[in-house]
Amino acid sequence: MSFEALFYALFGWVVGMLINHAADVLPRHRALNTAPICPRCGMLRAPLAWSAVLGYLSRRHICLGCGCPLALRSVLVELVTPLLFVGLFWRYGFSIQLGLLSLYSVVLMLVTITDLEHRLIQHAVMVPALLIALVGAFFNHDMTARQAVLGGAVALVLLYAMYLLALPISRLMGRLARRPSEEVPFGFGDVTLGTFVGLITGLPGVVFALLLTILSAGLVAACIVLVQVMRHRYKPLTTIPYGPFLALSGFILMVYGPDILHWYLH
Ligand SMILES: [Zn+2]
């Protein structure tokens, strides 16, 4: 591995720590510039435990306040982010494209974590992310600004329509199944995330990203139902968060969109 790639991997590790910190404090409505705390009891963490990897290696991973260990998610994020950053570095080299796609990947990872852990896609994350993606559209080498903006617009219209339809349909299903539920199957956060994905994948990439989202989410939902039926614990109207599927599909199309389109058209 070249020195530059190693440097970028180290940078990715620090960014991974920041993603973990943001995922710990933002859903609890704390400011980003607070010191890392235990998400469970709020106790300040030892400096070595600011990094989950270092925390486990130095055996400072147990909170002194509540005895709760550092989340394994934090370790995973600190390991995956450098790998992701090195992968992007190998593909794009030091360039504006590398900076943009790294930043977009950070947003996608953060949203995936908060949606999985709290069923939450926060405006505090998505509003700045949308602004950055809108400006970034003019510097993206993989597409024209027009394609990017059109991608965002298409996603916004389609997902907003889904958002408007989702609640009445789920209420109706709940009434039919005699299990009234107020759980929102498709929240406004999914609309903002989808628009972000549209801006970073552009048109026509966003169409493939949305198709991949529907396919992958449908496949996982079918597997969940299958497992529930096999264990005789079938719960009708179980909803799954769409954010992670949108984020993963968005990432795949953001990086490999041009290759996929080339393959599809030829
Ligand atoms: Zn604690």
User: Domain range spanning residue 159?
Assistant: 120-266
Q: How far are the Cα atoms of 111, 150, 153, 158, 186 from residue 193, in angstroms, in the given order?
A: 8, 15, 12, 12, 11
Q: Two tokens at 165?
A: 């339809």
pLDDT tens figures, 213-250: 999 999 998 898 899 888 887 776 667 888 999 999 99
Q: Two tokens at 205?
A: 């990439």
Residues 162, 74 share a domain: no
Residues 167, 245 share a domain: yes
End-to-end CA distance of the chain: 34
Are residues 221 and 177 in contact, defined by beta-carbon separation less than 8 angstroms?
Answer: no
pLDDT tens figures, 29-66: 888 888 888 888 888 888 888 999 999 999 988 998 89
Q: Two tokens at 75?
A: 């370790």
| Residue 78: Cβ within 10 Å count | 23
What 3-state DSSP class applies to 240?
A: coil
Residues 198, 144 share a domain: yes
The total number of structural domains that make up the chain: 2
Q: Does some domain include residue 104?
A: no
Residue (of 56, 109, 61) closest to 83 by Cα position: 109
Whether omega for the bond prior to residue 39 falls within 30 degrees of 0, making it cis, is no
What is the pTM for the complete model shown? 0.91
Residues 256, 124 share a domain: yes
Last residue of a domain, one of 28, 60, 94: 94
How does residue 170 score in pLDDT terms, banded at 50, 70 and 90? confident
Q: How far are the Cα atoms of 45, 56, 61, 192, 233 from residue 72, in angstroms, in the given order?
A: 16, 10, 10, 28, 28
CA of 75 to the centre of ligand 1 (A): 17
CA of 117 to the centre of ligand 1 (A): 17
Residues 127, 79 share a domain: no
CA of 74 to the centre of ligand 1 (A): 15
Q: Around ion ligand 1, which residues have CB less than 5 A away?
A: 38, 40-41, 43, 63, 65-66, 68
CA of 44 to the centre of ligand 1 (A): 8
Residues 264, 224 share a domain: yes
